[in-house]
Structure 1
Amino acid sequence: MTKSTLLLSLFIALLSSCSKPAETLELEDTTAELSLDQEIVQSLPTGDNSQNALDWPGTYFATLPCASCEGIETWVTLNQDGTFVLKTHHMGLNDDLEEIFTGKFTWDESGSMVTFHGLIGSAPGKYKVGENRIWHLDKNGNKIEGDLADRYILVKQY
């Protein structure tokens, strides 16, 4: 029995002497890489928002309320390259007239609202972007409230 215990002890000693010790150089390199990665991550915006987490490019449609006509058919196309197309048609006024605006848009700091640049007159220029829909906002960038609030939501068509 002492022979087998001696052999087992010798075998364990042999196995433990064969294992390679960890190299501190590799550990130091990994630490340097981690701190560099942390600096990069800290410079990136944190959290998901409409701009970086939603499939927002596409065309949206709704018939917005109108005080002097039957409604304003509104098509908004948001393109991945930061351009837009806004088409409006005032129903019941001049059925042949469609207004078409094109230009660039920018995102706000939160990445949830776009502002159109290059519009003239009182054309709408701010929209909150959500999942498969955008909200037509007032001139101050606020959601429209009240009984007709749901009619200011444009739904993604394609």
Structure 2
Amino acid sequence: MMKTTLTCTLSLALLAGCAPFSSPDARDTPADGHTARNALDWPGSYEGTLPCADCPGIKTRLTLMKGERYERQTQYLDREPQPEIVTGTFSWESDGSTIRLDASGDSQRYFVAENQVIMLYRDGTRPTGPLAPHYVLRRAQ
């Protein structure tokens, strides 16, 4: 009986020791430590026309500045003669590639990539399907 208990205990300890441990932050950050925040030249302006449920689109210009500041210009194409301009701050999420605008920017999230930013859904996921390319703002020339 003692031998069986000892064998079971050692087996459980061995199995527990084999389970990989990773903190949530370790899973969010690439293994080499490179993220958009530290590896890309992300400051600059990004432009595009985002989808709109009841209009032809929303012309958008998002300017990201050092010091985690931004300016966002949005213009509903068939409604507003002038763009609405909002300024504020943004923060980097733990993955180092996603930013979240402050409350002035409706806490909107964007995935920062090489020469583009992708507007994310409210739940933080990337758009998929045929409309996905319309959520991309490209670096302005």
TM-score (norm 1): 0.66
Looking at CA atoms only, which structure, 1 or 2, has the larger radius of gyration?
A: 1
Q: Would you say 1:51 and 2:37 are equivalent positions?
A: yes
Q: Give secondary structure in 1 for the equivalent of 2:110.
A: strand
Long gaps (5+) in structure 2: 1-28
The structure in which a higher percent of residues are helix is: 1
CA contact (8 A) 1:124 1:136 kept: no
TM-score (norm 2): 0.74
CA–CA distance in structure 2, aligned partners of residues 48 and 86 of structure 1: 27
Coordinate RMSD, CA, aligned: 1.6
CA–CA distance in structure 2, aligned partners of residues 109 and 65 of structure 1: 28
Q: Report what 2:112 is aligned to.
A: 129
CA–CA distance in structure 2, aligned partners of residues 114 and 124 of structure 1: 9
Which residue identity does 2:53 align to in structure 1?
Answer: A
Long gaps (5+) in structure 1: 1-44
The percent of aligned pairs where both chains have the same amino acid is 36
Q: Give secondary structure in 2 for the equivalent of 1:47.
A: coil
Runs of 4+ residues deviating >4 angstroms: none
Q: Report what 1:71 is aligned to.
A: 57
Aligned residues: 111
1:51/1:107 Cα in 2 relative to 1: closer, same or farther (>3 Å)? same
- The answer to which structure, 1 or 2, has the higher relative contact order (CA under 8 A, 6+ apart) is 2
